[in-house]
Amino acid sequence: MTTSEPTTVDTPLKKLVGEKTAKALAAHLDLHTAGDLVYHFPRRYDERGEHTDIRSLDVGEQVTVLAQVQKTAVRPMRQRRGNLLEVTVGDDSGGVLTLTFFGNQAWRERELRPGRWGLFAGKVTEFRGKRQLNGPEYVMLGDGAADGEAAVGEEVEEFAGALIPVYPAAAAVPTWVIARCVRVVLDTFTPPEDPLPTDVRSTRNLVGIGPALHEIHRPSSKEALYRARRRLKWDEAFAVQLTLVQRKHRAAAWPAKARPPRPGGLLEAFDARLPYELTSGQRTVGAEIATDLATAHPMHRLLQGEVGSGKTVVALRAMLQVVDAGGQAALLAPTEVLAAQHHRGILDLLGPLGRAGELGAADDATRVELVTGSLGAAARRRALGEVAAGRAGIVLGTHALLYEGVDFADLGLVVVDEQHRFGVEQRDALRAKADQPPHVLVMTATPIPRTVAMTVYGDLEVSALTQLPQGRSPIASHVVPAAEKPAFLDRAWRRLREEVAAGHQAYVVCPRIGEGPASEEEPPREDDNGRRPPLAVTEVAPLLADGPLHGLRIGVLHGKLPADEKDAVMRAFAAGDLDVLVATTVVEVGVNVPNATVMIVLDADRFGVSQLHQLRGRVGRGEAAGLCLLVSEAAEGSSARERLDAVASTTDGFKLAELDLEQRREGDVLGATQSGRRSHLRLLSLLRDADLIRDARAEAIALVDDDPELARHPALAASVAALVDEERAEYLEKG
C-alpha cells in the first residue's frame, strides 16, 4: 500500500505499508511512524563477494548472513516421520553454517541450489561442534525469492553486487521486509527541517539531513554511506553534548561557598602524620580538587581509580580542607556495611585528629560521626546533635543522610562513594541542607573509558588515579581451552595442587549455584542454544573432591547458604583451615585472603570483562604472585574467546574498560536499556568515534556560550528533545 501524499516523520506506517505489516513492525520492533522507520538504521551492510566472516558468529546470536550455498543433503529422520534437509552455506572467510529444515520440503532443495547466494536469518545454535541455523528465514539473490517474497527478490536483485542493508530485525519481521518498507517510505518522504546550524554543517563538512537519511538506507556508494553515517552520528553526539554542556553551564551559575586551604590546619597535620608518601597521581588529583574547592561555584568532579589506588585518602584530604575552612563534609556509601568500614578506616587514618572532645585528641581535632538506620535511638540522637551543632566535621552514612531529619550546621562537601551518578533528587535534597549548593565529589572503582566519561559524565570534571595499587603482587592470567586441549585443564588442577603444597590456597569459581550433584539418570539439559548449562558450585565441588583435588580440604560458598554458614566458611578459609574454596561470584568483592594465590574460573566466557577483572583481584594480595586461569570451551576465533584472551593479556583496568565498552551495545552505555525507552542513539560508538565526540563537544560549548537555552535554534532544540528525551536526560544526570 502506498500513498501519493508527501510523507513526514509523523505519518503513521499503516498508511504507507499496510495494516498487517504496520502491526508487525509496531509489535516486534516498536516502529509506528515513518520517522521511527527512517531512523531504524541498518546495523551493517553486506556485499556479494565480500565475506561476512561466519567464523565469528556466536552461539545464541540472532544473525543475518550473506552466504553462498555449497551443498545440500536429504536424509530420513530417526525419531519422527519425514526427511531432514541439510544445506551447507559458506562465505569467503572459509566459515560454514548448516541450515536445517524439517519435513518433506523438496521445493526448498530445488531453490537452495549450490552456487546461489542468499541472505539467511536465524538464531545460531550448535550441534556436535558445528554451528547451524534451524529453519532460518531467507531470501535468495538472483532468480527468484523464498517463501513467496517475489517482490522482495526483485528488490534485493537490484542490490546484487552493491551494498545490501541488514537491519536490526525480528523473527516475524526479517531484514528484507524492513528493507521493502523503507523503500516504500523513502519514495515519498519529506525530510524534516535540518536541525544543525548552517555554520556547524559548513565548518565540519557535514551533508544535509535529507541526503543522509536517504543514503544510509540506500547507499549509492561506500563514500556516500560514510558521509551519511558521519552526519547522523554527529546528530547523536551533538544532542548528548548539548544536554550535558547546558547542565554544566547552569551548574556553573550556582553560587557556592569557597573553601580555600588553611595554613597550619588539619590537612597539613594529617599529611605530616601519614606513614607513607602520596603517589604523584594522588598529589596531582588532590591539587585539582583543592583548586575547585577554593572557587565560589560548586565543584562537580568524578574521581576514578581501581580498588587500592588511594581514592579514600584523596577524598579525606578534600574533606579536611573543607573542615579547615569552617565547613562540614559528608561521605555517602551505598550500604551501611561500607559506611561502617569507611568510618573505621578514616578514624584509623586520622588518629587523634578525629577525636575532638576525647582524651588524647589533638588540639585542632574534629569529630567523625557515623549515622545509619541501625543506630539505637540514644546513639542516633547524640550523633545528630553533633552534626547539627557543627562539632562533627566529617559525617559518614548512606543516602539516608540527605533525608530523615539530618541537619548540618554548614555542609560544604559531599563525597559519593558508589558507581552510580548523583541524581536530581539527591542534588535537590543537598540544596535543602545548605544555604548554597555544596561541592560534590563522585568516586568510582570501575575505570571508565575517556569517551564514556566525556559522554555519560560530560557535566563533571574527571580525575583518574592510574597507578597500580600499592603492595600488590603481580597476577599472571591464562586462558585454558578445555574443549580443544583437555590436557591443559588437567595441568591446571595439578598447578593448583602445587600451590597448596607450597602452603598457599586457591579459589575455584563457577557461574551457577546448582541444586545438587547431577546424576547420570537425570543429566542437565542443554539450553536453547544447544549449550550445556553453566557449571554449578554444588555439582563441581564433589567432582573435584573425588577427582583432581582428592585429599585437599575443600569448602563451598554461595549466596544461598545461611549467613552464619557463609561466615563460618569464610573464617575457615581466611584462617587457613581450608585449601580450596569453590564459590560463585560472592567472592568478587570484599574478600581479602593474602595467602590465596590461585583462582580457576570455570566457564569463564559466561562472565563479563569487569567481573573477571574483579574476581582475579582476589589473588596476589600478599607477598606471593597470583595466578588466574580462565577455563572455557569457547571456540578459537569466537568473540567470547577473544574477550578472554584480552582479559588474560592485561591487568590494566582502563584497557579492560575499553574492551568492555567494545563488547557492549552502545545503547547500554548510553542508557537505552536502563531507561526502558527506545532511543535514536544508534550509530554513535563511544569507542570508535572519540574524535567526533570531542569535536561535537567543542561545538556544543561554543553554541551554549552564545545561546544557553537554544532560543535562537528551535529546530535544534526540538531535535535534542527527540534524541535525548526527559527520561534519558535524567539517566545522564544519574548515570
The pLDDT value recorded for residue 79 is 64
CATH superfamily, region 14-200? Nucleic acid-binding proteins (2.40.50.140)
| Cα 489 to chain centroid, rounded | 30
CATH number of 475-650: 3.40.50.300
Q: Is 427 helix (H, G, I), strand (E, B) or coil?
A: helix
Model confidence pLDDT, tens digit, residues 292-336:
999 998 888 888 877 667 888 999 999 999 999 999 999 988 767
Range 589-602 average pLDDT: 82
For residue 665, CA distances in Å to 405, 531, 630, 660 come to 42, 23, 24, 10
Domain with CATH 2.40.50.140 in the chain: 14-200
Model confidence pLDDT, tens digit, residues 658-670:
777 666 544 444 4
Among 408, 440, 259, 272, smallest CA distance to 353 is for 272
Using left for φ > 0, alpha for ψ between -120 and 50, and beta otherwise, residue 72 falls in beta
For residue 639, CA distances in Å to 44, 56, 376, 642 come to 17, 6, 53, 5
Q: DSSP letter string over 620-639? A: S-SSSPEEEEEEE-PPTTSH
Range 85-96 average pLDDT: 83
- Given pLDDT bands bounded at 50, 70 and 90, which one contains residue 446? low
Range 539-552 average pLDDT: 94
Domain with CATH 3.40.50.300 in the chain: 277-465, 475-650
The pLDDT value recorded for residue 732 is 46
Using left for φ > 0, alpha for ψ between -120 and 50, and beta otherwise, residue 142 falls in left
**Are the CB atoms for 594 and 621 separated by under 8 Å?**
yes
* More confident of the two residues 44 and 232: 232
- Given pLDDT bands bounded at 50, 70 and 90, which one contains residue 521? very low
CATH number of 277-465: 3.40.50.300
The pLDDT value recorded for residue 730 is 47
The pLDDT value recorded for residue 380 is 86
The pLDDT value recorded for residue 107 is 80
The pLDDT value recorded for residue 147 is 40
Query: Based on the number of CB atoms within 10 Å of its own CB, is 704 exposed (0-12), middle (13-18) or buried (19 or more)?
Result: buried
Range 145-168 average pLDDT: 55
Has residue 731 got a pLDDT over 50?
no
Q: Is 447 helix (H, G, I), strand (E, B) or coil?
A: coil
* pLDDT winner (highest mean) among 14-28, 142-156, 364-378, 673-687: 14-28
- Given pLDDT bands bounded at 50, 70 and 90, which one contains residue 444? confident
Model confidence pLDDT, tens digit, residues 400-443:
787 768 889 999 999 988 655 455 566 567 667 777 888 989 88
Residue 638: φ, ψ to 5°: -75, 160
Range 537-542 average pLDDT: 94
C-alpha span between 13 and 22 (Å, rounded): 6
- Given pLDDT bands bounded at 50, 70 and 90, which one contains residue 58? confident
* More confident of the two residues 31 and 308: 31
Range 685-706 average pLDDT: 87
Q: pTM of the predicted model, to two decimals?
A: 0.61
* More confident of the two residues 51 and 168: 168
C-alpha span between 371 and 310 (Å, rounded): 24
- Given pLDDT bands bounded at 50, 70 and 90, which one contains residue 262? very high
Q: Which residues contact 733 (CB under 8 A, 6 or more apart)?
A: 247, 421, 423, 424, 459
Model confidence pLDDT, tens digit, residues 348-406:
889 999 888 888 778 888 999 998 877 788 988 898 999 999 999 999 988 778 776 88
Strand ranges, E, within 519-677: 554-557, 580-583, 596-601, 626-632
Has residue 125 got a pLDDT over 90?
no
